[in-house]
Amino acid sequence: MARFAFIDHSGKEFIFEITDDAKIAAARNILSGKEQAQVHVMGRIVKRSASYNPGWSFHLDPTTITFFTMAIEVCDASAIYVEDHLDEACGAFLPGCHWCPWSSRLTREVQ
């Protein structure tokens, strides 16, 4: 298990957890610059806070984390927008609870 942080165009940090070793390696490759295409974070939101992600009322399911180059528009939103519209998420907004912030950029591994 490892935790990483990203920021989106809002500049606010969002921390997520990864449990899959291959995806942990992928995140580390993004941070090192070795991976330059599939660099944005995608996952399924869970509508409750996580102790490792302070300041947010939701987190990403660690088992659903993937990285992408491009994704469909319907899953794109900033972390602040998701927070502000969490009661609408998983319906017409973010169908299936899939969130793929296009402007997400990994910034660090959280120790």
Answer left, alpha or beta for residue 5, where phi above 0 means left and psi between -120 and 50 means alpha: beta
Number of domains in the chain: 1
Reported as a single tens digit per residue, the pLDDT across 28-44 is: 999 999 999 999 999 99
Closest by Cα among 2, 6, 3 to 99: 6
Sign, CA torsion 100/39/14/79: negative
State the chain's mean pLDDT as an integer.
96
In the block, residue with structure tokens 């935790």: 3
CA angle 57, 50, 62 (to 5 degrees): 110
pLDDT of residue 70: 87
Q: What is the pLDDT of residue 73?
A: 84
Residues 40-92: pLDDT tens digits?
Answer: 999 999 999 999 999 999 999 999 999 999 887 889 999 999 999 999 999 99
- Print the domain residue range for 30: 2-110
Using an 8 Å Cβ cutoff, are 103 and 78 in contact? yes
Residue 72 pLDDT = 77
